[in-house]
Structures are given as structure tokens and as C-alpha cells.
């Protein structure tokens, strides 16, 4: 029930989620434009290959930075953008310990530019990526959007919490439409090489050891990319005035289940090296999806074993 076709600008369109979202929206009849700075946080070649896949579909990606507000303003005006899916960000919990400045520049200043853009063009509806990392050291499970999120475990989580607060302020002050999506451990084909599932798969295939933190006592609400894209599209279509939604599978799995799924699909046993918990990490993520299901009509459907099978099939072809 998504109504008439939209003209959507996706920031981070050469990124993992942005790439899949662009293909999905295009396939259903929306006009899609992208912007991406192709930074070197992980393989630029992978980002270029994603962009190359989008090109024959007529989805152009402008190479530029979200910190460049005049560039964004020109893209919006020239292409008569009706909706923005803001997915560009400096990702990664652990990298925020190494290069905190990148998180402030991209996730705070860059996000401010998106809000200022919508302030200038108030008819645009903004849907933006938050993260399950905003729940930080919360111990109540499952994580609900009604829960307080005042104790981030990482600077990355703190920047995403800041985005939510900034979005609320701009909605309150200027009436712009803002919807935040708290993504939970997204995985799948064309994924990010810095993610555990990708690192584990490569190590198993190459006969190298896997580093398993907190001695394996970790659980994650793994959510397959196709489910994330469908939930994101549902949020774009709803176009709430000011809302937050969890997007997860609501089915946390231990790391051992991830490793077992990879071993079975690849056909090799993993070599495990157990270490203590890393700074910035949390033991469990678990999305309370009841409100998302009620408001967006969305439920994740792809189980971990099936999703990992699709991912490994892709990985073995590249």
C-alpha cells in the first residue's frame, strides 16, 4: 500500500543497505537518486561494484559528501526529491575507538545538514538510519522504543542517539517529517566486510582462526537485508510526522548458531580463538517488534540459516 511513485534520494547509496534499498525502490516504480562519498572505511572496490550494478537500472550516484550542504540542496532541487532515505554514516562500534572525529563529522554534522535540507524543503519526508546501538548498556529485554536510551556503550551509539534527539528538535521547531529506524545486525549478500559474519565466513573458507569475543557468550538479533529493506520501505511509505521504529528479527541467536550455519554451508569447521569482551560491545541485542508490526505491518521472515546460505552463495561467486 505504498501509493503513487516517489522521487527518493538515498544517501550512502553505494553502501550495503543503501544499495539494496535502491534496487528495491526502483523495482517497485520509484525514481531513485543516490549520493555517496566512497570513503575508504572498507573496500572502495566493493562500493564501486555496487554502484556499477545500479547504473544499468538508471540509478545515478553522485560522488559527494553529506557534509556538503550546497551539493545536497542542488540534488534536491534539480531532481524534485519528495523523500530522503538517509543511510550515510560512519559505521562500526570498534572503529569509533580509533577515529572518533569521523563519527562527529559524518554522523553529527552530516545529519545536521540533512535536517537543515528538510528545513529548507519542508515537504520532503525524511527516513533515517538509527541503530540498535542506542540501547547501549540497557539490560531490559527485548529492547523497546519506549525504553530510555541514556547509557550508550560506544561513541557510535551516542551519535545515533544524538540523531534521534536532533530529529525530534527539528520536527518540534519546524514541523518536518522524521522517521528513525533502529537497525539490528543487518547481514546478507553485498554486505560490509567489517561485520563479524563476513569476517567469520572468510576465515572459515581460508582455514584461519576466528576471534570470538566474550568467550562466545554473545547474542545478536541478526536481520537479513531483504527484511530490513522491506521494513525501511514501509517506513518511507507511512511518512510519519515524528517516529522511531525497531527493525529486527526479534529472535536473538548466539554466536555459536551463526558459526554453525557458516560451517554447514561452507562445509568446513571453524578454528575458534576465545577472548574477553571488547570495549564498546554489548552481550545481547533483541528487538521488541510489536509496535513496528502494528504501525508498519512489518515482520521479518528470513531465518538465520537461510540468510547465511544466501550470503555464502554470493561470497563464493565474487
The residue assigned the cell 550515510 is 88
Annotated catalytic, 198?
no
Contacts of range 269-272, beta carbons closer than 8 Å, 24 or more positions apart: 269/204, 270/200, 270/203, 270/204, 270/210, 271/203, 271/207, 271/208, 271/209, 271/210, 272/209, 272/210, 272/212, 272/216
Please state, in angstroms and as integers, the Cα–Cα distance from residue 286 to each residue in 145, 233, 245, following that order: 12, 22, 13
* Phi, psi of 146, rounded to the nearest 5 degrees: -85, -10
Q: Is the dihedral of CA 218, 257, 195, 295 positive or negative?
A: negative
Are 33 and 75 spatial neighbours (Cβ–Cβ below 8 Å)?
A: yes
* Phi, psi of 247, rounded to the nearest 5 degrees: -125, 100
* Cα–Cα dist 260/171, whole Å: 45
Catalytic-labelled residue, pool 156, 197, 198, 245: 156
Cβ atoms within 10 Å, residue 123: 10
Query: Could you give the dihedral angle defined by the CA atoms of residues 29, 33, 39 and 40, in that order, rounded to the nearest 10 degrees?
Result: 30
Residues with Cβ within 8 Å of 287's Cβ and at least 6 positions away in sequence, in order, are 132, 142, 143, 182, 184, 221, 223, 246, 247, 248, 249, 250
* Phi, psi of 15, rounded to the nearest 5 degrees: -85, 175
Give catalytic residues, as residue numbers.
156
Amino acid at each position: 500500500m505504498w501509493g503513487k511513485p516517489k522521487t527518493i534520494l538515498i544517501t550512502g547509496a553505494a553502501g550495503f543497505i543503501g544499495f539494496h534499498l535502491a534496487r528495491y525502490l526502483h523495482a517497485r516504480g520509484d525514481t531513485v537518486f543516490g549520493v555517496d562519498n566512497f570513503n575508504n572505511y572498507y573496500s572502495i572496490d566493493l562500493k564501486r561494484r555496487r554502484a556499477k550494478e545500479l547504473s544499468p537500472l538508471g540509478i545515478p550516484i553522485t560522488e559527494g559528501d553529506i557534509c556538503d550542504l550546497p551539493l545536497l540542496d542542488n540534488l534536491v532541487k534539480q531532481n524534485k526529491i519528495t523523500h530522503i532515505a538517509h543511510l550515510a554514516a560512519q559505521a562500526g562500534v570498534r572503529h569509533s575507538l580509533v577515529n572518533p572525529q569521523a563519527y562527529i563529522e559524518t554522523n553529527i554534522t552530516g545529519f545536521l545538514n540533512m535536517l537543515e535540507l528538510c528545513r529548507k524543503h519542508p515537504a520532503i519526508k525524511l527516513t533515517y538510519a538509527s541503530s540498535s546501538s542506542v540501547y547501549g548498556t540497557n539490560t531490559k529485554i527485548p529492547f523497546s522504543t519506549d525504553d530510555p536510551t541514556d547509557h550508550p556503550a560506544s561513541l557510535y551509539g551516542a551519535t545515533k542517539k544524538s540523531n534521534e534527539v536532533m530529529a525530534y528538535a527539528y520536527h518540534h521547531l519546524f514541523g518536518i517529517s522524521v522517521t528513525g529506524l533502529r537497525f539490528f545486525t543487518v547481514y546478507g549478500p553485498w554486505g560490509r566486510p567489517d561485520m563479524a559474519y563476513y569476517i567469520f565466513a572468510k576465515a572459515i573458507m581460508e582455514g584461519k582462526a576466528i576471534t570470538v569475543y566474550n568467550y562466545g557468550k554473545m547474542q545478536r538479533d541478526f536481520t537479513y537485508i531483504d527484511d530490513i529493506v522491506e521494513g525501511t520501505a514501509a517506513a518511507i511509505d507511512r511518512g510519519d510526522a515524528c517516529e522511531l521504529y525497531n527493525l529486527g528479527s526479534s529472535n536473538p541467536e548466539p554466536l555459536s548458531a551463526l558459526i554453525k550455519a557458516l560451517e554447514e554451508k561452507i562445509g568446513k569447521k571453524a578454528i575458534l580463538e576465545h577472548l574477553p569482551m571488547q570495549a564498546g560491545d554489548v552481550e545481547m541485542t533483541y528487538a521488541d517488534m510489536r509496535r513496528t508490526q502494528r504501525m508498519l505491518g512489518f515482520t521479518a521472515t528470513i531465518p538465520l540459516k537461510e540468510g547465511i546460505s544466501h550470503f555464502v552463495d554470493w561470497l563464493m561467486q565474487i
